[in-house]
Amino acid sequence: MRAAQASRSIRVNIYYSQQARSYWANSPDLDGLAASGRTREEVEQEARWAAESLLELNGAPGPHPELQFQDAVFQTE
């Protein structure tokens, strides 16, 4: 797992599925971070909990970096 440094933020991509009518998130900066929710607020909260859990399991000392949420579009090849 890539270590996140306390001095920088962790990018979190937020996706919306019109078909499922729900949101999901992942992070290019924190391996293993994944979250989902019916609302944007719910997926952001789930992503915060997931990030804290991953960082604690990885032994990262606090305080943890801030999460920077950004809208993203899922690209299929």
CATH superfamily of domain region 10-71: TTHA1013-like (3.30.2390.10)
Please give the pLDDT value at position 41: 97
Q: Is residue 65 a contact partner of residue 4, using CB atoms and an 8 Å limit?
A: yes
Please give the pLDDT value at position 76: 65
51: helix, strand or coil: helix
Would you give per-residue pLDDT tens digits along the chain (77 residues)?
454 444 579 999 999 999 999 999 999 999 999 999 999 999 999 999 999 999 999 888 778 889 999 999 977 66
Phi, psi of 2 (to 5 degrees): -70, 135
Q: Bridge-partner residues for 35, per DSSP?
A: 25
